[in-house]
Amino acid sequence: MKQIHYISGILIFLFINLHLFNHLYGLFGVEEHIELMNTLRVFYRNIIVESILLLAILIQVISGVKLFLIKKKVAKTFFEKLQLWSGVYLAFFFVFHLGAVFIGRLILNLDTNVYFGVAGLNTFPHYLFFAPYYGLAIISFFGHISSIHRMKVKSILLEVKPSQQAYIILFSGIILSFILLYGLTNGFNGIEIPTEYHIVIGK
């Protein structure tokens, strides 16, 4: 089960890097973000790649919950605990985030572009939920990677110990989450959401 979890994790890791890079690119503006997403969609939103990605996520969530139940009593160190709890949050986030994207696409018939993703993040009081919801997902992603790095990497690169490297990965995630939230809210000034997306925020 550990091996299946590891392999599906690598596939998901590749997609999430592209996805977060797309959000980071949103710092240049919403139009630029959408333009890049349209290019990336050619690769990930075709029936083959998307089916593999969704299957990998399903495997990841189920195997992850099972591993959590087995390991929760034996996790002792900071990184062992971080691996478990960041995994639990990621499983929760995947279910709700993908559920929302597919409701948007199949039931609301919306183009699930950045406006769909950030409608809640740019509306009061919704952002009180969405800012920690997205922020914690990014931190959990980096937290999960940092704990795997701590356990797998034994050699010392650049004279920085593996545990220090793991902390660097974790703190990079925390910084990136603030940068992304800054970009996805137009420097905290708010992005104007087109009327067809108002249904997402209950207007």
Using the minimum distance from each CB to ligand HEM, give the nearer residue, 81 or 97.
97
Beta strands in the chain (DSSP E): none
Task: Write down the least CB distance from residue 70 to ligand HEM, Å.
Answer: 23
Cβ atoms of residues 14 and 72 within 8 Å = no
Of 73, 70, 68, residue with least CA distance to 144: 68
Piece in contact with ligand HEM (CB under 6 A), picked from 28-36, 50-58, 155-163, 168-176? 50-58
Using the minimum distance from each CB to ligand HEM, give the nearer residue, 79 or 197.
197
If you search the block for the tokens 């406006």, which residue do you land on? 115
Cβ atoms of residues 119 and 192 within 8 Å = no
162 cis-preceded (ω within 30 degrees of 0): no
**Amino acid code (one letter) for 118:** V
> Pick from 16, 67, 75, 108: which binds ligand HEM (CB under 6 A)?
16
How far is it, in rounded angstroms, from Cα 98 to Cα 10? Answer: 18
Using the minimum distance from each CB to ligand HEM, give the nearer residue, 49 or 153.
49
Q: What's the token pair of residue 110? A: 């919306």
Residue 170 contacts ligand HEM per CB under 6 A: no
Task: Write down the least CB distance from residue 97 to ligand HEM, Å.
Answer: 5
Binding site for ligand HEM (CB under 6 A): 15-16, 19, 23, 37, 41, 45, 50, 53-54, 57, 90, 93, 97-98, 101, 112, 114, 116-118, 134, 137-138, 141, 180, 184
